[in-house]
Amino acid sequence: MNYSDSLHQSSEYLRMALRHMGKLSVPVDPINYAVWYEYVSGRNQDLKKVIEDFLQNSRPITDEVNKDLYNSYVAEEDQSVIERVRTEFKRIIADMLKHLSRTGGEISRYGEALAGLSDRLAETIDPAVIRQIVESIRSETRTMESSSEGLRGRLEATSREIEVLRKDLERVRREATTDALTGVANRRAFDERLAQAMDKAGAEGTPLSLVLMDIDLFKRVNDRHGHLVGDKVIRTTAQMIKNEVKGKDLVARFGGEEFAAVLPETSHKGALALAEQIRARFEAKQWRRKDTGEYVGVITLSIGVATYRPPEEAAEFIDRADRALYRAKESGRNRVCGETAEGGKAEGA
């Protein structure tokens, strides 16, 4: 994050950010402040759209939601790791070029030596001279073998170094796209995958569905059993949803207690059926605390389903799924609503 605002401008952003945070009862800590500074400054349009969606739909922006927004839209990837990897790769390339240049020179010298010995061999039939030439060939070959062995060892060491760097980069990429609490994709990964899926669906004419899921009355769980149990419920919810989808589908934590599933090559009817399957699985589960055995109660999901209509924008697609989710909430919770008809446990299924 690079900021170059003047003292006057940054002071104004401070006032505006604190006003929003106070109105929403958001704790004022550096991470939360960074989210709202970015929002009021208007420098981060993706973040601004998400927050405005929360505000327009009167969805609570809790401390946990703020942390998710920070990780998805404000936090930068681990630049120190990336810089170290870049530097190491430059060093490895330079080292290999040096070894290859040295070996190339030795190969050239070896070839010249063999050509010279071959010429001498063609000019003599003296056994003593021939033996001398053979010994010379053996000597030159041993030297070349030693050099080749050094290159082979260097190549093996380089391969190991590159594998370490590859794992470092993979870790940075994974952390940048994974929700820390649940282990499923975060909002950043969701946005990227949804955009890719929309492009593919538009180009190939295949269906694409989006499912938004929200844990009903989750605040009651937190209030009654505490945030540790609440976190456990969120983690279990993520895993249960993930267990129901196919390998090419993406499950993401959309924010707070809300989850999303991107379903490529899935019709509206198919998405409704999957959503009802997930809803029923939650309704049937007996939730108990592992530490005390205390019965937590029935935890249900309200679910909204929408299917992509090319060439609409992602925001419009998400908004239709969100409106379906809102109808599911308004019509009694613990139900699935599609884009049109209302009522029943699984609308259109």
- 135 as an active site residue: the answer is no
| CA 15/CA 36 separation, integer angstroms | 11
Q: Which of 38, 64, 140, 257 is catalytic?
A: 257
Report the sign of the C-alpha dihedral through residues 333, 339, 342, 344, in that order: negative
Distances (CA, A) of 50 to 56, 59, 299: 10, 11, 26
The three-point CA angle 229-230-234 to 5° equals: 115
Q: Count the helices and strands in the chain (H runs, E runs).
A: 11, 7
At 265 the three-state DSSP class reads coil
| CA 131/CA 66 separation, integer angstroms | 83
| CA 192/CA 179 separation, integer angstroms | 14
User: What residue has token string 């609503």?
Assistant: 337
Order of strands across the sheet that contains 258-264: 250-255, 258-264, 208-215, 301-307, 336-337
| CA 144/CA 90 separation, integer angstroms | 28
Give the pair of three-digit tokens for residue 85: 């990897």
At 252 the three-state DSSP class reads strand
User: What residue has token string 């290859």?
Assistant: 100
| CA 312/CA 168 separation, integer angstroms | 37
- Catalytically active residues are 257
